[in-house]
Structure 1
Amino acid sequence: MVTFTNFILAALAGYVAAHPGEEHDAHQMKRELVARDNAAQLGARSLASCSNSASAQALKSRSIKRRANAVKNIRQKRGIQAPARKDKRTLEDLQAWEAVNHNMTGTYSYDMFTSLEDVFSGNTSCILAPEVTDGPYYVVGEKMRSNVKEALYSDGVDLFLEIQYIDVNTCEPIPAVAVDIWNCNATGVYSGISTNGNYASGGYNSTYLRGIQLTDSDGVVSFETIFPGHYDGRAVHTHLLSHQNAQVMPNGTISVWNSPVSHIGQLFWPENLRAEVEATYPYNQNTVALTTNDEDMWSIVAADEAFDPIPQYVYLGDDISDGLFAWIQIGVNASADYTENEYYGVAAYLDAEGGHSTGYTVGGGNGTGNGTAPSGVPSGSFSSALPSSSSV
């Protein structure tokens, strides 16, 4: 990993903060990269040792069938008749991932004679997800829902995203994990925040493209969202954050205050897919300068030879406007807790009175960087109404 670390040092040294308040020391991050790579390799070996067990193989079989059925059902619901396309990527050694072509896309028409495993397996089982900053825009108390699109500010290419959490020590799924998802809209603006460079309409009371769910018995959550847009200084990405032992409240919300943080991560997307999406409306109205994966610091942090941060995906039809179905299996240490990590911080929270800022900024802010509830906020006080999962 020495060569890889030396390769990215220049990128780290030249990093310009993408969000207000997001500043990090390049040499500190270099040390963390080495530590994360070592941890990733250990986790990958742990996964390899149990990946051929009967339970692991049964889980894989269920996952393949579930993904195939999900795509079939979405296509039927939307009346899509054209053959779907699959992006065929090889999971290369990501130690030199900047040189790896993740975009070997070809038209892949599958029918009743095509093995579902060829389409929906995905070589993503032997991975360990490193912990990557949640950024300064994490909001606690979001609505418990699978469809995070809303009537306003959610136009774009539909993305049906499945995330599966696996314990690297046992290859067993991790149920009842509270998974938060959030990303900016097509023109690069996050909801839930109102700060320099990101003035969301509705400010701290806005909730579009944010939501939380609990994983099922197979460690799976599925969200309906949109392909994210871009903003200054960052490549296109989707945020994920998971809490263990979260509490489901009587009003149907999920309280994660003081719950262990088992994973902080970001998903990245191939450049050719991003370009295809951003040629469509309303992405093509975004006039902010583009940052590619090669230029983004956090995509480098996320990837190494044991972890591919790009989900597998299929086109739901023969045109990007039909939407995408994507999936990734994330290996984590189920006993880990990153609550005290400096990259975990709560920027705002929602309660019955609406949204509130905590004042947190990444890398040494004055807010709730350790994930504990702000003063005056009782545990489990969030009371936003439980929405329908089919809400627009």
Structure 2
Amino acid sequence: MVFVPSIAATLAVALSLTPMAVFGHPGEKYGKREALEEMGNAHVVNKMNTRALEACQNSPAVKARKERAIARRAEKFAQLRRDKGIEKAPWLHRRDAAAFEKWAALSHNKTGTLDFTKETPSKDIFGANTSCVLTPDNANGPYFVYQEHIRTDVVEDTVGVPMHLELQFIDVQTCEPVVGVLIDTWSCNATGAYSGVSAKGEGGLGTTYLRGVQPVDGDGVVNFDTIFPGHYQGRATHQHLIAHVGSEVLPNGTYTGGRVAHLSQLFFDQTLRDTIEATAPYNTNPIPHTSNLEDWFTGYAATSEYDPFPNYISLSNKLEDGLFVWAELGLNTSSNWDHYAPYASTWKEGGGYDNPDFDFWAVASPPPTHG
């Protein structure tokens, strides 16, 4: 397996000083050698696709797409504020960010209270993309549920800080918006529990909260209404993403078939996390927090080119009014990452069903190798 020597060397030092990670969810466990090889391979994939996208950033079609994105985000932000009756309230903006430690450093915290006026250039606010390159593909974790509902609003009766998530996907082979792709997203609730799975401490097979699938529109965009995720043992706050290519939409509002062309996790600014975790119901979670830099999976999620932290704006100066979060992500639609996307259960009419072939402890990697 190919790996990048500089990345591997850095990670080897870190891993040699760190005991074997133990996570709150089975399956999120790696041996040192496997972790180094998989991380290195993911970064090689990232660099290849970065070059592909860089070659077309100045084309008229790409520039036009970016202008549409600016206008779309500005209108969505205004709509969300109108819906809540807070058009005149001040708001917070996380602007551009500048390897994971760079993105998570103090300079990354560029939020401030701003007054939204007609004179505020939309391109200064909504033109910022987290990145125009492919996020390194990484383990999807042990709680992927196959055939989830196709829907935009996934909140159900969960309580937390509202989060409107807009994701735009670009085909790195064509530099055009992806077509015919279903985007799958899920997260734990404010106190760290996942829906849709039977494992101890989770929501159970009959639950579907904070899970949903959407087909991309003509600009490769999907929108989800969810809540800001909580945390659990050994993991920083994160949002799961999977891109399905070639899937069939079923009459019952779910999907089947296809292959996984992309899987990743988005992370969130530490300052934002700390602020939200101090509020209810997040602050009722007794599990210790794991910082972004301590999270085992961040080795996959960042390169010097890719920022895994999405852009965000607080809809007002009150957290309870929610966040507008967006990111632009490149993917290779011909990729097949099914090996890294085993599912714990399947949603069918009448409820969920465990996958009898699913092994929680083998999902992420081969058995750990020591030494």
Fold match by TM threshold 0.5: yes
Checking the alignment, whether the CA contact within 8 Å between 1:183 and 1:210 is kept in structure 2 is: yes
Q: Name the amino acid aligned to 2:302.
A: A
Deviation at 1:26, TM superposition (A): 1.5
SS of residue matched to 1:272: helix
Q: Name the amino acid aligned to 1:238.
A: Q
Matched with 2:198 is 194
Deviation at 1:185, TM superposition (A): 0.5
SS of residue matched to 1:105: coil
SS of residue matched to 2:124: helix
Distance in 2 between residues matched to 1:126 and 1:20, nearest whole Å: 33
Instruction: Pick one of 340, 351, 354 that aligns with 1:354.
Output: 351
Deviates most, 42-51 or 92-101: 92-101
Distance in 1 between residues matched to 2:330 and 2:169, nearest whole Å: 6
Deviation at 1:170, TM superposition (A): 1.7
Matched with 2:161 is 157
> What are the equivalent positions in structure 2 for 1:1-392 lying under 5 Å apart?
2-12=5-15, 14=19, 15-80=21-86, 81-90=88-97, 92=98, 94=100, 96-97=102-103, 99=105, 101-151=107-157, 154-196=158-200, 198-200=201-203, 203-255=204-256, 257=257, 259-339=258-338, 341=339, 343-359=340-356, 360-362=358-360, 364=362
RMSD of equivalent CA atoms? 1.9
Checking the alignment, whether the CA contact within 8 Å between 1:345 and 1:362 is kept in structure 2 is: no
Deviation at 1:22, TM superposition (A): 2.9
Q: Deviations over 1:296-350 (max 9, x none)?
A: 01122211112211100111011222100000011111111111x2x21110001
Checking the alignment, whether the CA contact within 8 Å between 2:27 and 2:141 is kept in structure 1 is: no
Q: Deviations over 1:203-225 (max 9, x none)?
A: 11100111111011100100000
What is the TM-score with the length of structure 1 in the denominator? 0.86
Structure-2 change in CA distance of 1:84 and 1:243 (3 Å) = same
Distance in 2 between residues matched to 1:180 and 1:231, nearest whole Å: 21
Q: Deviations over 1:53-92 (max 9, x none)?
A: 11111111111111100010010010013122201232x2
Checking the alignment, whether the CA contact within 8 Å between 1:176 and 1:217 is kept in structure 2 is: no
Superposition misfits of 4+ residues, deviation over 6 angstroms: none
Gaps of 5+ in 2: 365-371
Structure-2 change in CA distance of 1:74 and 1:123 (3 Å) = closer
Deviates most, 32-41 or 265-274: 32-41
What is the TM-score with the length of structure 2 in the denominator? 0.91
Distance in 1 between residues matched to 2:239 and 2:301, nearest whole Å: 12
Identity across matched positions, percent: 40
Q: Deviations over 1:129-178 (max 9, x none)?
A: 11111111000121111000112xx1000000001110112210002211
Distance in 2 between residues matched to 1:292 and 1:305, nearest whole Å: 20
Distance in 2 between residues matched to 1:21 and 1:94, nearest whole Å: 23
SS of residue matched to 1:47: helix
Q: Name the amino acid aligned to 2:244.
A: H
Q: Deviations over 1:346-370 (max 9, x none)?
A: 100011231111142356359xxxx
Checking the alignment, whether the CA contact within 8 Å between 2:130 and 2:308 is kept in structure 1 is: no
Checking the alignment, whether the CA contact within 8 Å between 1:135 and 1:362 is kept in structure 2 is: no
Matched with 2:367 is none
Distance in 2 between residues matched to 1:87 and 1:199, nearest whole Å: 32
Distance in 2 between residues matched to 1:40 and 1:311, nearest whole Å: 17
Checking the alignment, whether the CA contact within 8 Å between 2:162 and 2:225 is kept in structure 1 is: yes
SS of residue matched to 1:101: helix
SS of residue matched to 1:297: coil
